[in-house]
Amino acid sequence: MKIAIYSRGVDKDNMPELNRLFHEITRQHIEPVFFQDFFNQIYCSLELSGQYSTFSSHEDLPADIDAMISLGGDGTMLDTVTFIGDSGIPILGINFGRLGFLANIGKDEITKAIDSISNREYIVDKRSLIHLDANLPLFGKAPFALNEFTIHKKDISPMIKIHTYLNGEFLNTYWADGLIVSTPTGSTGYSLSCNGPVIFPESSSFVITPVSPHNLNIRPIVVPDDNIISFEVEGRTDGFLCTLDSRRELVNMEAQLAVRKESFEIKLIRMNENNFLQTLRNKLSWGLDKRN
C-alpha cells in the first residue's frame, strides 16, 4: 500500500505527532510518498525507516496511490484537491491547524486513522466541485475548487457591478464588493461568513452569496448545480480578483467568466463515527444554547 502525504509545513511543536504518524505508517508496512517541498522542510527531523519516495505535482503523483493524507488545516485540504484532480484518490485530513472542519481527524486519532486506512475500514464521502470556464487562461491545469469561486473588487477600489446569468437568462445585478458561488461543501466557509445558508454536502446545488451588497433587499440564493452561471463585471478600475478556494488571479474587466459543476468528484475519507451534523455542532457550535 502507498499513501501520499501533503502539507504546507508543520510547526516544531507538532514533530512528535508527525513522527508518531510515520511510525504507524511503517508499522502497517505502508510506503509513504511525500510532497517534495514538505519533505525538504522536515527530513532532518524525521525518524524514517523503509522505502519512501516524493512527488512535486499532479503529473508525477504515482498512479498506484491508495490514499492521500493532508496534514494541516482546511486550507491545506483545499491545496490537496489540486494535486488529486480527477485521479479518484481519497483524501484523509489530519488537523494540524485550527478549525479543522474538513480536516476533522484530530492528532490524537492518528493511530486509529492509519489502522482504518490500512484495513480499508472507512467511509468515503463524495463531494462535488465547481469548475471555471473563461476566455483566457486562468488557474493553470486546476480550474476547479472544492469550496467556492469568487469575484471580488481589488483592495480599496470602489464596489463593482456583477451582472449574473443562469443558463443565459438574467438573474440579477449585484452592486457589491464581490460575489461568492459556493458548493455545498463550501457553504460552511466564506459564504457562511457572508450570511449564506448551510447546505448538506449531498445537496445538488450552488449557493450564490453577495459580499457586502449595497442593497437592503439582496439575499443569498440556492440554485440547482446543473445551471451554468455566467458573469459580466463592471467597475471603475481596470480589473478585479477572481478566486478558486485559496488561489487567486487578477482579471481584466473584459474577461468572460462562467462556472458549472465539475465533471468529477473528490473523495473525502471520514471515520465511521463522524458525520456532517456532528461536525456542525462540534466545530461551528451549531444549535449551542446554554439553556440546553
Exactly one of 74, 79, 125, 245 is catalytic; which is it? 74
**Closest to 70 in 3D by CA, of 4, 147, 17:** 4
Non-local CB neighbours of 55 within 8 Å, separated by 6+ positions: 4, 33, 34, 35, 36, 61, 62, 83
158-177 burial string, b = 16+ CB within 10 Å, else e? ebbebebbbeeeebbebebb
Cα–Cα distance, 78 to 147 (Å, whole number): 8
Please give the span between the terminal C-alpha atoms of the chain, in angstroms, as a whole number.
46
CB count within 10 Å of CB 149 equals 26
Between the alpha carbon of residue 118 and those of residues 25, 35, 51, 155, 172, the distances in Å are 9, 20, 17, 47, 50
Cα–Cα distance, 171 to 165 (Å, whole number): 5
- To the query of whether residue 74 is one of the catalytic residues in this protein, the response is yes
Side chain identity, residue 254: E
Sort 232 into a burial class: Cβ within 10 Å, 0-12 / 13-18 / 19+. middle
As annotated, the active-site residues are: 74
